[in-house]
Amino acid sequence: MTAETIQAPRRRRKTKLLPYLLSLPALLVCVGILIPFVTAVYYSMLRFRLNLPAMKGFIWFDNYINFLSDSEFWNTVRVSLLYTGLTVGVELVFGLAIAMLLQKQTRFNNLASILLLLPLMTAPALAALMWKLMTNPNFGVLSYLVQLAGVSDFKWASAPSTALFTVVLVDVWVYTPFIMILLLAGLRSLPRQPFEAAALDGVPRRFVFFRITLPMLAPYMITATLFRLLDSIQQFDIIYSMTQGGPGNTLLVFQVRSYLEFYQYTNVAKSAALLVILWAITYALSNIFIKQWLKLRERARGSA
């Protein structure tokens, strides 16, 4: 019996075990995700407050049913979706505009794209505190500039009428570079033949943008929008650092309200139920975007 015949079964065993070994890290991550998720679902079906531990008991779906008649809950849904729609929409428009301006690869454009990434490297909570100082009515530089423009006593995040505008402004400043860099990579990877043919035929730029650039860029736009949507609807640090969900309930989004329910009102069950509902909304929205992305990919394969 030769050495090769002895080592052959060992090689086969290693080959069979290799897929399981490679999938082990993903399995550990999955378990690490499922444990807190199942825990949240479990607590959401209880009557459980930290200040009244003796009253702990199963009430099943009563926490969810009670939300249907809770005006504060529907305000949270409205504010969360409004905040998500505004931030993602504005960032997508600005990110696409900046990416179009920097599409041509030059030294200046490459340097500008690097410099524009600096806000993204700032922690959102730190960025919110910076903006809170800049919008301070007594010594904030932005308050001073607004006064020079003729607008006196602009309240920024301290008034219900302008609080949403202020936190959206901070979010746009921090995260627009993320969408910009994704769309810029998409623009620079598009095939040049359709654009060269359109230039030779004298096709107007508006037609090229809406009929050639946008359809070809659509998968990148959907990907960027999906990433930002999943992050924006779970926003906590910018809003909490700026206003703690106020003034009043103006910015009481899901994450902030869940945090306050747990740490301020000690209502563990209600906090967990809010997070489970947030997961369900996030799951539904991500499914819609992924299905659209798959449709676009199949359409692109069909036309290729």
- Stated as kind and residue range, the H or E segment containing 48 is strand 46-49
Q: Name the residue among 281, 249, 270, 276 with its Cα closest to residue 72.
A: 249
Q: For 76-303, CATH number?
A: 1.10.3720.10
Tokens 């679902």 belong to 41
Instruction: Give me the pLDDT at residue 248, please.
Output: 85
Are the CB atoms for 180 and 99 separated by under 8 Å? yes
| Tokens 């050495």, residue located | 3
**pLDDT at residue 302 tops 70:** no
Mean pLDDT calculated for residue range 214-218: 89
pLDDT tens column, 15-74: 778 788 888 888 888 888 889 899 999 999 999 888 887 778 889 899 999 999 999 999
Q: Report how far residue 3's alpha carbon sits from residue 8's, in angstroms, rounded to the nearest whole number.
A: 9
Q: Is the separation of the CB atoms in 258 and 275 below 8 Å?
A: yes
Is there a cis peptide before residue 247, judged by omega within 30 degrees of 0? yes
| pLDDT value, residue 284 | 92
220 alpha-carbon distance from chain centroid: 15
| Alpha carbon distance 276, 235 (integer Å) | 15
Strand, coil or helix: 52: strand
Q: pLDDT tens digits for 67-124?
A: 999 999 999 999 999 999 999 999 999 999 999 999 988 899 999 999 999 999 989 9
**Among candidate residues 288, 228, 242, the one with its CA nearest the CA of residue 94:** 228
Contact indicator for 40, 272 with CB cutoff of 8 Å: yes
Q: In this predicted model, what pLDDT tens digit does every residue of 232-283 receive, in sequence order?
A: 999 999 999 999 988 888 999 999 999 999 999 999 999 999 999 999 999 9
Name which residue leads in pLDDT, 11 or 182: 182
Confidence tier at 181 by pLDDT (50, 70, 90): very high
Q: Nearest-CA neighbor of 119 among 57, 177, 162? A: 177
Which of 267, 265, 214, 16 lies closest to 99, judged by CA?
A: 214
Q: Is the pLDDT of residue 214 over 80?
A: yes
**Chain region(s) in the chain for CATH 1.10.3720.10:** 76-303
